Amino acid sequence: MASPPTVGLLYPGHSAEDDFPALEARLDGAVHLPLVHTDIGEDAHRVDALLRMGGPERLAAGAERLVEHDPDSVMWACTSASFVFGWDGAQEQVAALGRLLGRPVSSTSLAFVDAVRALGVRRVAVAASYPQDVATRFVELLGHGGVDVVGLGSHGIITAAEVGTFDRERVLAIVRGGDVPQAEAVLVPDTAMHSLAWIEDLEDAVGKPVLTANQVTVWQGLRIAGATTTLPGLGRLFRL
């Protein structure tokens, strides 16, 4: 029997990383998601701190520890410390990791663009935990990817640690509050936010596809590894 696909995750700090082993358990070993924590430095949703968090030395150090898991693909499981570099910078960030690891590599921010395209939608709402100036950087990256953001909600939360404490009802409220009628999907861009157990509930709440950071991270990792992305309980994206 073939071994399950292995998507290696580089995850900054500690907040919602337990989303991934919980998903592994629910899928009964259909996917392997080894995770290495990268040095977060200062836990702050501030542009200067995020630029340091996503710096090449920190990512390379984490990548070296991830190699022992022999992943089929690698994801920089962070949205904000990718999109703050802009479209070209986000592309170079993963290209450098790909050269280092000799494996397919992507990031959560780029995964959002690919997931929106896969759904065949263009107009989206963004329900962000970040401060407004940081959330605007995500909107800019989406725009470079051809995604039209028709609604932006930001919650001004500075630390990933605080976002990691949000329960199902808080996440549902953020998604409902960020939705607008003209949006064809709602994007929730923080890997510090738990979501993988609640994707179907989130989509039911707004009646349209919901893309969360941890969800698109797993999807993109499987996609670039050439593995199936048809999995139960993870929303419309995983039923394409």
Asked if residue 39 and residue 88 are part of one domain, the reply reads yes
Position 155 scores a pLDDT of 85
User: Residues 128-133: what's their mean pLDDT?
Assistant: 93
Asked if residue 58 and residue 34 are part of one domain, the reply reads yes
Position 159 scores a pLDDT of 87
Type of residue at 31:
V
Q: How confident is the model at residue 1 (pLDDT cuts 50, 70, 90)?
A: very low
Examine residue 88 and state whether it is found in any structural domain, yes or no: yes
- What CATH code is carried by the domain that includes residue 74? 3.40.50.12500
Asked if residue 80 and residue 119 are part of one domain, the reply reads no
Q: Where are the alpha helices (DSSP H) in 145-197?
A: 160-163, 168-178
User: Residues 128-157: what's their mean pLDDT?
Assistant: 95
Q: What is the pLDDT of residues 175-214, one digit of tens each?
A: 999 999 999 999 999 999 999 999 999 999 999 999 999 9
Q: How many domains does the chain have?
A: 2
Nearest Cα to Cα of residue 44 among 164, 159, 155: 159
Residue 143, phi then psi, degrees to nearest 5 = -60, -40
pLDDT of 111 > 50? The answer is yes
pLDDT of 105 > 80? The answer is yes
Examine residue 11 and state whether it is found in any structural domain, yes or no: yes
